[in-house]
Amino acid sequence: MEFTATDRDLVIDYKLAGKLYNAHPKDIEAQRAGSPHKLITANPFDSELIPKGRTWVLPENAEWHRRRILAA
């Protein structure tokens, strides 16, 4: 899926397959101590800022959640 910011910046919120979201900070710290390469975050999703006039492609292993148009 491709997103293009035409006249205003966009923010795309998405989740990567295999990444743990909404984790408790203590769980994140424990996981990082044992395996620093594990994908885990306290955030509800990942976000990508697309500046006006640019295009971005959603990674194949990602699920799109929402598109936000930023104020001018």
Of the two residues 49 and 24, the one the predictor is more confident about is 49
pLDDT band at residue 45 under the 50/70/90 scheme:
very high
Closest CA to 7 of 52, 48, 50, 51: 52
Which domain does 54 fall in, by range? 2-69
For the chain, the domain total comes to 1
b/e per residue, 4-39, with b = 16+ CB within 10 A? ebeeebbebebbeeebeeebeeeeeeeeeeeeeeee
Is 72's pLDDT higher than 80?
Answer: no
